[in-house]
């Protein structure tokens, strides 16, 4: 049996070398040795988020300073899409610094960044990267997420829900949706019959988040859905109410 390795240890000098090799193949002017040295000097004492930040910061230093040019290079190293519903962190883990690069440096270039996030999520995930855009461009992003909820790619559809979760684990809370979750519901309506387990889990988890802060509003939506005979909708309802079910059983 292979020894378990914490995810954070994948974000080290070895990963810096992997990224450097991929980037140099696209941009021969990339200072790969200096990039690797920069990462190697900073990551050892850090946890996962800190390590990802160090790598993204080094990318910003050594890629072209024009953001759109830097992203264009990064988009060329993404590799093939993930055709399954799992493996985003096993196979696509190395793209986390790329996603964070867009999250950290891309909010002033909406079109470039949103196009990049859509491509990244097909291989890793954009659920964290979209959140500052939801805060800065709420109306514009709601339109994007609504469109994504109808996308043919399962990872993009899942992102439409997961990225809008008010209390997404390991992410900053989206206070705007904790205060008023109603803008989320058109996206969830588009996804309530989705056949993908990956998407259904996200929709259920989104509703579960909503119930924590806006129980009556969340239950109003769930009770409307109860009339549906669609098995996927019923699965989502059951999974969304799992905490309430546990509470009742414990009484």
Mean pLDDT for 98-114 is 98
**Residue 119 corresponds to which tokens in the numbers above?**
């491509």
pLDDT grade, residue 106 (50/70/90)?
Answer: very high
Tokens (6 digits) for 24: 């140099």
Can you give the pLDDT at residue 162?
98
Start-to-end Cα distance in the chain: 41
pLDDT > 70: percent of the chain = 96
pLDDT-derived band at 2 (thresholds 50, 70, 90) equals: low
Q: pLDDT (tens digit, 9 = 90+) per residue, 172-205?
A: 999 999 999 999 999 999 999 999 999 999 999 9
Contacts of 26 (CB under 8 A, 6+ apart): 73, 76, 77
> What is the residue-wise DSSP string for 58-109?
HHHHHS-SSHHHHHHHHHTT--S---SSS-TTTTSGGGHHHHHHHHHH-TT-
- The residues near 219 (Cβ < 8 Å, ≥ 6 apart) are 211
- For the whole model, what pTM was predicted? 0.94
Residue showing tokens 């684990």: 169
Mean per-residue pLDDT, 205-233: 97
- What is residue 3's predicted lDDT score, i.e. its pLDDT? 64
Q: How far is CA 35 from CA 84, 102, 248, in A?
A: 32, 18, 55
Residue 89 has pLDDT above 80, yes or no: no
CB atoms within 10 A of CB 61: 12
pLDDT, tens digit, 9 for 90 and up, residues 11-62: 999 999 999 999 999 999 999 999 999 999 999 999 999 999 999 999 999 9
């Amino acid at each position: 049996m292979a020894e378990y390795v914490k995810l954070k240890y994948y974000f080290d000098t070895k990963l810096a070398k992997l990224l450097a090799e991929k980037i140099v193949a696209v941009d021969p002017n990339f200072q790969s040795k200096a990039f690797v040295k920069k990462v190697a000097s900073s990551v050892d004492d850090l946890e996962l988020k800190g390590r990802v930040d160090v790598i993204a910061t080094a990318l910003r230093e050594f890629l072209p300073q024009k953001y759109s040019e830097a992203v264009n290079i990064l988009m060329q190293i993404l590799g093939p899409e993930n055709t399954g519903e799992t493996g985003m962190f096993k196979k696509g883990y190395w793209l986390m610094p790329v996603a964070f690069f867009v999250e950290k440096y891309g909010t002033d270039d909406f079109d470039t960044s949103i196009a990049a996030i859509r491509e990244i999520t097909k291989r890793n995930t954009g659920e964290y990267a979209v959140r500052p855009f939801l805060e800065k461009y709420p109306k514009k992003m709601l339109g994007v997420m609504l469109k994504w909820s109808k996308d043919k790619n399962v990872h993009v559809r899942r992102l439409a829900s997961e990225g809008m979760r008010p209390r997404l684990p390991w992410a900053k809370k989206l206070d705007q949706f904790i205060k008023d979750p109603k803008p989320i519901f058109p996206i969830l309506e588009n996804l309530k019959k989705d056949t993908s387990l990956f998407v259904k889990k996200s929709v259920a988890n989104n509703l579960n988040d909503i119930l924590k802060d806006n129980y009556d509003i969340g239950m109003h939506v769930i009770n409307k859905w109860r009339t549906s005979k669609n098995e996927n909708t019923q699965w989502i309802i059951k999974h969304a109410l799992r905490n309430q079910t546990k509470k009742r059983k414990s009484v």
